[in-house]
Amino acid sequence: MSARVIEVALTVNGEPVRESVEARKTLVDFLREDLGLTGSHVGCEHGVCGACTVRVDGVIVRGCLMLAVQCDGARVETIEGVSDAGEIADLQEAFHRRNALQCGYCTPGMLLTAQELLKHGGVPSREEIRTHLSGNYCRCTGYHAIVDAVEAVARARRGGER
């Protein structure tokens, strides 16, 4: 039996995209395999690890739990687009400076999830940062440096010291 193919039209990182996609293909596989946007990673493939995090219409989602066809008409943003726009340059710099990444596999998802927390402004407590990031797994860093980096950026954005 041949796979059902559906045409979708969406924007990805501000660019219009029109593609024929298998109905069963996940959003993260579509982004990686069809569009070559490999910054979104595939870990658990069942919504646990957060490696596949992307934004759809401004809200972070698990790219492995959403089908590409569900994004017809949507605005999708990946780590490539958000990074190129400079939106998270301070977070990226803080992750680098504080060794908040090692292998980097979790990092795109961590950055997008952290940005979702910080875009509302204010300085969350370390507990709030940990809770917000609790759906993103990191096998390398032990999380302390990640929390340090996110906290530092929150303070810096508020105008305090790093």
Choices 39-47, 66-74, 90-98, 118-126 (CB under 6 A): range interacting with ligand FES: 39-47
Stretch touching ligand FES by CB under 6 A, among 1-9, 29-37, 41-49, 118-126: 41-49
User: Binding segment for ligand FES among 14-22, 38-46, 68-76, 124-132 (CB under 6 A)?
Assistant: 38-46
Residue 70 touching ligand FES (CB under 6 A): no
Write the DSSP assignment of the chain as a string of letters: -PPPEEEEEEEETTEEEEEEEETT-BHHHIIIIIS--TTS--SSSSSSS-TTEEEETTEEEETTTSBGGGGTT-EEE-HHHHHHTTTTHHHHHHHHHTT--SS-SSHHHHHHHHHHHHTT-S---HHHHHHHTTTS--SSS-SHHHHHHHHHHHHHHHT---
d(CA 77, CA 3): 27
* Contacts of ligand FES in 106-125 (CB under 6 A): 106-107
For ligand FES, the binding residue among 8, 12, 21, 52 (CB under 6 A) is 52
Work out how close the CB of 3 gets to ligand FES at its nearest, in angstroms, rounded to a whole number. 21
**Residue 105 near ligand FES by CB under 6 A:** yes
Q: Between residues 7 and 131, which has the closer beta carbon with respect to ligand FES?
A: 131
Distance (Å, whole) CA 72 – CA 75: 9
Instruction: Please give the span between the terminal C-alpha atoms of the chain, in angstroms, as a whole number.
Output: 58
Query: Is 44 or 89 the residue whose CB approaches ligand FES more closely?
Result: 44
Nearer to ligand FES, 139 or 158 (CB): 139
Under the rule (CB under 6 A), what is the footprint of ligand FES?
A: 42-45, 47-52, 62, 64, 101-107, 138-141
